[in-house]
Amino acid sequence: MSKLPRTALTLKQFLQRQKVLGLYRSMLRTIREVPEEADRKYLRDWAREEFKRNKEATNQDAIRMMITQANNHLQELKTSLALAKS
C-alpha cells in the first residue's frame, strides 16, 4: 500500500505542510532541552496532541494562524530556556 495521499497536494499545500513538519520537529528538539523530565513529558505530549488535533485542517487561513501560534509558543519556550540557563 502506498503512503501517498489519494489526492495530490498543490505546491502551496506541500510547502505549507513542510513548514508545519519543520515547526513540529523544531518544537520537539527544543523541548528536549527542558531540564525537568516531567516538564519535558508534559510539553512533548501537549505538542503532539496539538499537532495531531489539527492534522485534518484544510482552511488555509486557519492553518496560517495555527503556524503563527505555534511559532509564538516555540519562541516563548526558547526564551524561557535561555533565561533559565543564564
How do residues 44-74 score in pLDDT, each as one tens digit?
999 999 999 998 898 989 999 999 999 999 9
Q: Which amino acid is at 50?
A: E
Buried-exposed string 37-60: b where 16+ CB fall within 10 A, e elsewhere:
eeeeeebeeebeebbeeeeeeeee
C-alpha cell belonging to residue 41:
513529558
The pTM for the full model equals: 0.83
21/16 Cα distance (integer angstroms): 9
